[in-house]
Chain A
Amino acid sequence: MNPNDVQTAVTNSLVQGGSQWLIATIVAFLPVLWTMALMLHLGRPYVLRTLRRCGLRLGADIWWMSYLLIRDALLLITFGLSWFFFEPNIVVNTPLPITGSLAALFLLLSLAVKLSRRVDDDVNAYRLSTLFMVIGATLYYGPLVFAVEAASQSYLSGFGQAFTSNSNPTVALVLVWISLAGVALVAAWLFVRALASANRSMGRRLTKERGKAMTGAAVGGE
């Protein structure tokens, strides 16, 4: 083996290893994000109790705004980083929780509830959003703890093989396609909803403005 071979090997390994490490780091970091998002979502009663004790409106507003921003940004980031669960090549070649894509779909459903209903005012919407998050988190944690991170435990090998994406690629891919279809449907619904809402609110404004302009013209004509 000559210096060129070693150079090629080091370069290849930095590229391949770097990419694998990046994916592995995101996989390792996702439970952190999931837990943070879940805790902040579930911790709402505590945040409200603290908020009530603020003597000044400014302090209360800062507290509530920070809470909302961090909580919802975490949800969005967690969904964004879960995107590689929908990439078939990565799912088949990397040990990932097999239901990771379904977990991401439930996270999106929770986000969709937040986008379409006033979760912070409507108790039932909040409950629905919580339910989606809890189901999603369970689908993520279960296979992660007992399959992906338990490869060394021989008595869990059956479970590990069934619930790790690269050792059960057929099921993993089926789940990916189902979840992807779900994500596409939810995204399409959100898109149509946003468009319809914009048309409605802008249409109302335009009609009002046109009405004002016509009234103005009629008054001017008299």
Chain B
Amino acid sequence: MNVDTLTNAIVSGMNAGLEQFLEGTIAAVLPVIWLALLGLHLGRPYILDMIDRFTLRLGADLLWLIYIALRDFLILTGVVMSFMFLFPDVVSTDRLPLTGGFAAVMLFGVLLVKLMGDPDHNLRDFRLVTWLLAAGALFYFVPYLFGVMFDGVATGQLLTVSKFLVSNTNTTWAVVLGYITVALFAIMGAVAAGYTLMTGGRAEVPETTSK
């Protein structure tokens, strides 16, 4: 072995290791983000209750704006950090929850409802957002808990199920689900872009003047 061979070996090891470490860290942070955004979404009645107790309009406005900004920023971060579920190489190499991509699709769906509807004032939209978040949480937490975090202690049939739920021990499914996720993202992205182009960035679609 000469200096160049050793250098190349260390460089390859470093790059591959650090990349996997980064992706692993993101995967480990995602459940925290999911829990926080679920907490904030479900905590809406508590915030509204608190807003009613404010004697100053400024305090109430600020609390509501900070609440909305934090809640929506977490949803946005969740979608963005789930981007790795779209990459076939990443899902084949890293230990990720099998349906993590679908969880991201649900989060993206929430953003779409917020863009096109009004979940903070329309009950139907609020219910839709809540259902999407619940489905997304199930898509993320079930394979995360019973797959990624369970295959070390599971035995027998449970081990088979557990391995099925982890992306790098079930690469065929993981890659196919990844492509479905990409397609869903593309469709919803096109809908969002179409809506924004139609409204021209205004709060609502302009009403037609024809009678």
Let me know if B148 is at the binding interface, CB within 8 A.
Answer: no
Give the dominant DSSP class at B's interface: helix
Bound-state CA distance A53–B57 (Å) is 12
B11–A20 CB distance below 8 A: yes
Which one of B62, B81, B83, B93 contacts A59 once the chains associate, using CB atoms below 8 Å? Answer: B62
Q: What's the nearest-Cβ distance from chain B to residue A139, in Å? A: 14
Q: Which residues of A contact B11 (CB under 8 A)?
A: 13, 16-17, 20
Bound-state CA distance A20–B13 (Å) is 12
Let me know if B44 is at the binding interface, CB within 8 A.
Answer: no
A48–B203 CB distance below 8 A: yes
Residue among B4, B10, B195 with the highest chain A CB neighbour number at 10 A: B10
Let me know if A24 is at the binding interface, CB within 8 A.
Answer: yes
Q: Which residues of A contact B76 (CB under 8 A)?
A: 36, 39-40
Q: Which residues of A contact B4 (CB under 8 A)?
A: 9
A56–B61 CB distance below 8 A: yes
A54–B203 CB distance below 8 A: no
Q: Given that A1-B2, A17-B15, A150-B88 are known contacts, is A55 also in contact with B60, CB under 8 Å in the complex? A: yes
B58–A32 CB distance below 8 A: no
Bound-state CA distance A123–B14 (Å) is 49
Count B-side interface residues using an 8 Å CB cutoff.
54
Which one of B6, B86, B200 contacts A126 once the chains associate, using CB atoms below 8 Å? Answer: B200
Let me know if A66 is at the binding interface, CB within 8 A.
Answer: yes
B58–A9 CB distance below 8 A: no
A59–B65 CB distance below 8 A: yes
Let me know if B131 is at the binding interface, CB within 8 A.
Answer: no
Q: Which residues of A contact B92 (CB under 8 A)?
A: 152
Let me know if B45 is at the binding interface, CB within 8 A.
Answer: no
Bound-state CA distance A149–B200 (Å) is 34
B202–A28 CB distance below 8 A: no
Let me know if B18 is at the binding interface, CB within 8 A.
Answer: yes
A residues lining the B interface (CB < 8 Å): 1, 5-6, 8-10, 12-13, 16-17, 20-21, 24-25, 28, 31-32, 35-36, 38-46, 48-50, 52-56, 58-59, 62-63, 66, 119-120, 123-124, 126-127, 130-131, 134, 144-145, 149-153, 156
**14 contacting pairs across A/B (C-beta < 8 A):** A1-B6, A8-B7, A9-B3, A9-B4, A9-B7, A16-B7, A17-B10, A48-B201, A55-B57, A123-B201, A130-B193, A130-B196, A150-B87, A152-B89
